[in-house]
Structure 1
Amino acid sequence: MKKILLTFIIGILICSCSATKIGKDKTRYFDKNNVEISKSKFNRIRSTNKLLNVQGDSINHRKLTLREKRGKINDRKSLELLLEKATNLELDSTKPIVIIYYPGKDPCNSSGSATKESRKIWFGQLEDGINQVAQTKPIYIYKENDGLKKYDGVLTWYKDPEGTIERLFFEHHYPCSSFVVISKNGDYMSYFGEFGKEYVWEATQIMNK
């Protein structure tokens, strides 16, 4: 009887482990058009670095998305007023609005060997380039401030007012951080995920025309 009971228990444990293993392997993969594809094809496309890997409609869905988007908002003036109230800054309605967006802590923005001094240099160069292109400064907006302590003494970050920046420009949690540049007419150009200074300068120049 004891042997039968022991065999029964071992069988349950084996089935449980197998179910867990299978459960962990239920991730589904989708391309940028939301068409399901194989994991190998997903990884092959992602390796080109032209698309980002983000969470899809479900927690076990991974989706590829474009890194750049262009569009237009209908009421830039309201956005200006909202940002001015949240930051206590005065915005020039004739200049592009440049926003650096931090979505919250993730493996991308919490790794690396950058120091406070190297961050000062990098963002100083970023701001100098933006000023040369459009005579304006970027605004640093965050969704969640976990992980921002490393910027103390380097940058001033402001809470996304009413989640507006996320709602208008950042549909997903893109790794590291992203940016968007909005022209005086409301046209915008956004870039998702880790970026170089040159991308921001180019977008600012395009949106300043």
Structure 2
Amino acid sequence: MKIVLVCLFLSVSFYGFGQTSPKPVYYYDGNGDQIKKEEYLNKSSRYKGLDDRFMALAFEKDTCFIALLKKRKTIGKLSALQMKNMFSNLNEANSSSKPKFSIIQYHPGRDDCNNGNYKSIGIAYNIYHRRYLKELKTFFNYNMFWIHKKDETIKFHRAKYINWRLDKNQFIEKLFFEYHYGCHSFVIVNNLNGNYISILGESSGKTVIEMAKEINDL
């Protein structure tokens, strides 16, 4: 299965894609149930709140295109084994001495939205900006991990406060980020009970702060 379009935030973009293709397009919701095109376009609208917003994905098969919705925000819980494997993958000791939370910023590889740069100058709530990272530290006990998918075309720039690590065996991708979601994604995990909140696709530092406050109550 070949991914031809990802993160189609603009309904008109997908509409044009369907109109110019000789293959039929089949639409599915986040549960894998087939839905009508109108419902698909409505749910994938970028004007909805984060709790109600979906990512619009499209895949090419031999005889058709599959249009799939994925919920941008997911609240879930990791098993004890998943937690142990996650700590091992992140080279973190599985002990009570670690911070209460882990934040994983995930770079999915090159797409139209990113190229591996950490552009932080002038944008206070860019996810790579020190200001928002310092604000987060004032109320949230966490470790931050910067994980990227293997992509030989990207030369990851480094800063003293950003240490990019390769997603070994695509573990983080398989655990939290099933498909390629444009720009970047993140997940916050409670290291004590396995609860997590993940956000798919581009987000600002403000969204990370909002989710950090929310997960404190889970």
**TM-score (norm: length of structure 2):** 0.69
Q: Give the deviation of 1:58 after TM superposition.
A: 4.7
1:32 equivalent in structure 2: 30
User: CA 1:161 to 1:129, structure 2 compared with 1: closer, same or farther past 3 Å?
Assistant: farther
Aligned to 1:161, which of 162, 168, 171? Answer: 168
Kindly indicate which of the two structures has a greater share of residues assigned to strand.
2
- In the alignment, the residues of structure 2 paired with residue 147 and residue 116 of structure 1 have an alpha-carbon distance, to the nearest angstrom, of 21
Q: Give the deviation of 1:188 after TM superposition.
A: 0.9
Find the residue that maps to 1:181 and give its secondary structure. Answer: strand
- C-alpha contact 1:54 1:62 (8 A) present in aligned 2: yes
1:5 equivalent in structure 2: none
- C-alpha contact 1:131 1:137 (8 A) present in aligned 2: no
Q: Bigger shift: 63-72 or 149-158?
A: 149-158
- C-alpha contact 1:102 1:176 (8 A) present in aligned 2: yes
Find the residue that maps to 2:180 and give its secondary structure. Answer: coil
Please, what is the CA RMSD of the aligned residues? 3.4
- C-alpha contact 2:54 2:70 (8 A) present in aligned 1: yes
Paired residue total = 185
Structure 2, unpaired ranges of 5+: 1-18
User: CA 1:118 to 1:24, structure 2 compared with 1: closer, same or farther past 3 Å?
Assistant: farther
2:197 equivalent in structure 1: 189
Q: Deviations over 1:21-63 (max 9, x none)?
A: 9864423222223232343442232124411112459582111
User: CA 1:120 to 1:145, structure 2 compared with 1: closer, same or farther past 3 Å?
Assistant: farther
Find the residue that maps to 2:27 and give its secondary structure. Answer: strand
- C-alpha contact 1:175 1:193 (8 A) present in aligned 2: yes
User: CA 1:178 to 1:121, structure 2 compared with 1: closer, same or farther past 3 Å?
Assistant: closer
Say yes or no: does 1:70 pair with 2:75.
Answer: yes
Say yes or no: does 1:117 pair with 2:117.
Answer: no
Kindly indicate which of the two structures has a greater share of residues assigned to helix.
1
Q: Give the deviation of 1:146 after TM superposition.
A: 5.2
Say yes or no: does 1:107 pair with 2:112.
Answer: yes
- C-alpha contact 1:84 1:91 (8 A) present in aligned 2: no
2:135 equivalent in structure 1: 129
- In the alignment, the residues of structure 2 paired with residue 38 and residue 208 of structure 1 have an alpha-carbon distance, to the nearest angstrom, of 38
- C-alpha contact 1:116 1:151 (8 A) present in aligned 2: no
Structure 1, unpaired ranges of 5+: 1-20
- C-alpha contact 1:104 1:146 (8 A) present in aligned 2: no
Identity %: 25
**Is the radius of gyration larger for structure 1 or structure 2?**
1
User: CA 1:207 to 1:45, structure 2 compared with 1: closer, same or farther past 3 Å?
Assistant: closer
- In the alignment, the residues of structure 2 paired with residue 186 and residue 32 of structure 1 have an alpha-carbon distance, to the nearest angstrom, of 23
- In the alignment, the residues of structure 2 paired with residue 152 and residue 138 of structure 1 have an alpha-carbon distance, to the nearest angstrom, of 15
